[in-house]
Amino acid sequence: MVNGSFATLKMMFTIAHLTFHEALRKRVLLAAIVLGALFIIIFGVGIYFINDAIIKQELRLSPSAIRTQSNRLAYNFLAMAGLYTVNFLLVMMATLLPVDTLSGEISSGSIQSLVVKPVRRSQIVLGKWLGFAFIMLIYATCMIGGIVGLVAIMTSYDLPNIHIALPIMLLETLLLLTLSIAGGTRFTTLTNGVFVFGMFGLAFIGGWVEQVGGLLGNQAAQNIGVITSLIMPSEALWRLAAHYMQPNGIGSLNITPFSSTIVPSPNMLLWAIGYTLITLLLAIRHFSQRDL
Amino acid sequence: MFVIETQHLQKQFGNKLAVADLTLTVKEGEVFGFLGPNGAGKSTSIKMLLGLVKPSTGNCWVLGWPPGNVQARCKIGFLPEHFRFHDWLTGREFLHFHGRLYGMSGQALKQRIETLLARVALLEAGNRKLQQYSKGMLQRIGLAMALLNHPHIVFLDEPTSGLDPLGRLLVRDIITDIRSEGTTVFLNSHLLSEIEVTCNRVVFLKRGNVVREVNLKDNEIHIDELELKLGQVDNSILQGLAQFGSNAHRDGDLIRMNIQNEACLPQLARWLIGQGCEIYRLAAHHPSLEQLFVETMTEENQLTIDG
Ligand SMILES: Nc1ncnc2c1ncn2[C@@H]1O[C@H](COP(=O)(O)OP(=O)(O)O)[C@@H](O)[C@H]1O
Ligand SMILES: [Mg+2]
């Protein structure tokens, strides 16, 4: 038994390793890293000049240079804008990186020589999931850490609750990645890409409807938001993370991409975790039963 | 013992009946040819045996296990049709990865890889990426992949379809080699000469049905024509030959007749000499596979038109 589960792990890691290898060799990852690095550099330069402007203005206003509430708001807004963009980048990467991993191998037939080996099909799905999850978790942590770190170093402003928000954003990344892998067991690569981005778009528009509804006090609009969040929790996760990272009150002052007039229930976290696990199980089940 | 056994396997894709009713057995150590025109259902049959495709109805066992059993898979090798693989890997990396999937590792795996690369004449190309391989080279590295684990049984789906004559010869040699090691080979092909040279037994498949089975190496069964060139022949000789077979007739200065099997030949020769005949030629012909194939497929055509 112990021996058996060890062998199982070994198989999964062999597949995960190949997946990792594939991402490296196919240059998708390289493109993402270069883009990400470029983004962080531009963000850093931007912060440098903006911070400069803020400090000069502040010196004029108050020679003692105490950090006022208003420039804390400016720093928070900067960091949130950076993270909002990173959120999009992560959504895109989590969707596109694994989008053809199963569908592509099924249509080319290369999956056949893999599946006839003494490997369970579940191990193939889990191994691929592990490989991509490993890559995406590192990538997401670097990108989010890069933004938050840059702001902290250059302005001495620490974004609040990052220890809560980071795991939530990582969960969002994993959720999209899992959906993309699961879609690949059923759809062709193109259909799968359309499917996952479509789901994301649905949640995105639902999130906005909910926010506007909250602002106007319209219950029907808010219900639409809740329902779309249940169908696809990605946007709710972002809103929740954004809520934690903004000091009390900021979020509800006006409507921004990271405002939260309506804060998603923390139960949404449980739902998102369950959603990811169920999606993964469905992917394994469908892949295990289908003809290849 | 049968290493492969199927009972009334059937596979339907939507409305399309890919395999209608497949019942066959393959013995240990046999080189089994699965012959049929494109679309006959050969690949689908192999996929059912390997657990890649679920049969709509029917049963099959490979090495005594139901298809897809993990223990059976340790002892199986497979070269898919239209061989395509993760082509960002080099030849050696590719074999290494597949070896690991078989649970092999370390020095044993390294050595096996080198042996096989040498066997398929790809030692020098081993560090090149599969992207740069020609179709024939891919087919050969795929064959090496299928043999990594010293399989008890290898399934080869059209292993020579992309190869030039030299490549075909190489594959043929390898099949002969592995047969001499006792490995069972299940060979899908529509190349008749291929099968004729390498196989013990052939099953003809047409529109998902087994329409004929032929033993190729078993001389008892399958001679159908005897050609004789004799010094002087009178009708009494012709009539006398009837005891050994049927339809003895003149054809120019030759005599042709049908016989059941080789066993009667020594006796027939003794009898001719006893009759004072001079024997210049005594040649038993196997019908060529091509002849059988054409015959079988056209017969079947008429059947399906009737049905
Ligand atoms: N996945 C599939 N979906 C639908 N039809 C299929 C599928 N696979 C095979 N077929 C059909 O089943 C028949 C048998 O195919 P196949 O087993 O590949 O034949 P062969 O290998 O003898 O050329 C063909 O008519 C083919 O079009
Ligand atoms: Mg075929």
Residue B296 has pLDDT above 80, yes or no: no
| Choice among B138-147, B237-246, B294-303 with the minimum mean pLDDT | B294-303
Distance CA B126, CA B89 (A): 10
Residue B222 has pLDDT above 70, yes or no: no
Cβ–Cβ under 8 Å, residues B199 and B186: no
pLDDT reported for residue A60:
66
Contact with chain B for residue A7, Cβ under 8 A: yes
Given its phi and psi angles, is residue B153 left (phi above 0), alpha (psi -120 to 50 degrees) or beta? beta
Closest by CA to B103, choosing from B75, B140, B66, is B75
Residue A253 has pLDDT above 60, yes or no: no
Cite the DSSP H helix spans in chain B: 42-50, 70-73, 91-101, 106-119, 135-147, 165-180, 192-198, 235-241, 265-274, 289-306
H/E element, A264: none
Cβ–Cβ under 8 Å, residues B207 and B20: yes
Q: Residue B29 corresponds to which tokens in the numbers above?
A: 């150590």
Q: Letter for the amino acid at A192?
A: N
Residues in B closer than 8 angstroms to A118, CB to CB, are: 70-71, 73-74, 101-103
Beta carbons of A110 and B82 less than 8 Å apart: no
Q: Residue B234 corresponds to which tokens in the numbers above?
A: 């009178």
Cβ–Cβ under 8 Å, residues B208 and B17: yes
Rounded mean pLDDT, A100-113? 92
pLDDT tens digit sequence for A10-43: 889 999 999 998 888 878 888 999 999 999 999 9
Domains in chain B with CATH codes = 2-215 (3.40.50.300), 225-285 (3.30.70)
Its pTM stands at 0.86
Distance CA A34, CA A23 (A): 14
Apex A9 CA angle, A4 and A13, nearest 5: 150
| Choice among A254-268, B170-184, B265-279 with the minimum mean pLDDT | A254-268
Contact with chain A for residue B179, Cβ under 8 A: no
Apex A125 CA angle, A121 and A127, nearest 5: 110
Residue A67 has pLDDT above 60, yes or no: no
Cβ–Cβ under 8 Å, residues B27 and B2: yes
Beta carbons of A292 and B74 less than 8 Å apart: no
pLDDT tens digit sequence for A140-174: 999 999 999 999 998 888 888 999 999 999 999 99
Rounded mean pLDDT, B144-163? 91
What residues are paired with B2 via a beta bridge?
B27
Ligand 2 centroid, distance to B103 Cα (angstroms): 29
Closest by CA to A119, choosing from A20, A9, A21, is A9
Q: Residue B38 corresponds to which tokens in the numbers above?
A: 């494109």
pLDDT reported for residue B304:
44
Test site for ligand 1: of B17, B44, B46, most ligand atoms within 8 A of the Cβ: B44
Residues with CB under 6 A from ligand 1: B 13, 16, 18, 36, 38-44
What value of ipTM does the predicted structure carry? 0.84
Residue B199, min C-alpha distance to chain A (Å): 24
Residue A211 has pLDDT above 70, yes or no: yes
pLDDT reported for residue B204:
87
Residue B256 has pLDDT above 70, yes or no: yes
Indicate the residue of A22, A26, A116 with minimum beta-carbon distance to B52: A116
Distance CA A102, CA A112 (A): 11
Question: Helix crossing, A121-155 with A69-96: angle to 10°?
Answer: 160
pLDDT tens digit sequence for B6-31: 999 999 999 999 999 999 999 999 99
Contact with chain A for residue B106, Cβ under 8 A: no
Name the percent of chain B lying above pLDDT 90: 43
Residue B301 has pLDDT above 90, yes or no: no
